[in-house]
Amino acid sequence: MTLSKINLLRLFFLLWLLVFVTPSAQSKQAPLAGEERKLLNSLRITPATAWIEAHNFAGKLPDEKTVNLKDYRGRFILLNFWATWCSPCLKEMPDFEKAYQQMGQEKLIVLAVGMGEDTKKISKFA
């Protein structure tokens, strides 16, 4: 994968955030607990200063179960768009797993969205 394709994918994601998430943003102050802030900092994730409510969307898990973003309201959601050919995407997955294990499923949900991939190929990474 060339650097320009990776940059194009990142640009697409940022534009998606600007177009779909920002207009519906609702600021709600929600300070992080010290433990949660430390964990996010260790992953080099900058916590938002205000909550942003994203539009709901649905997707299918490899087992064909449907997942809705709204089902996880009130929890931290790490929404990761990735692909099997993206080596930086694969490299960061263990860190997401570590965060999930440390925070627990009641506090953190990791939704990894496979971009344009075959279900069999993606399920190897579940």
pLDDT tens digit string along 18-50?
Answer: 555 544 444 444 556 677 777 777 777 666 666
Instruction: List domains and CATH numbers for the chain.
Output: 3-123 (3.40.30)
65 to each of 59, 68, 81, 85, how far by Cα in Å? 8, 10, 18, 24
The pTM is what? 0.57
52-102 pLDDT tens trace: 677 888 887 777 888 888 888 777 788 888 888 888 888 888 888 888 888
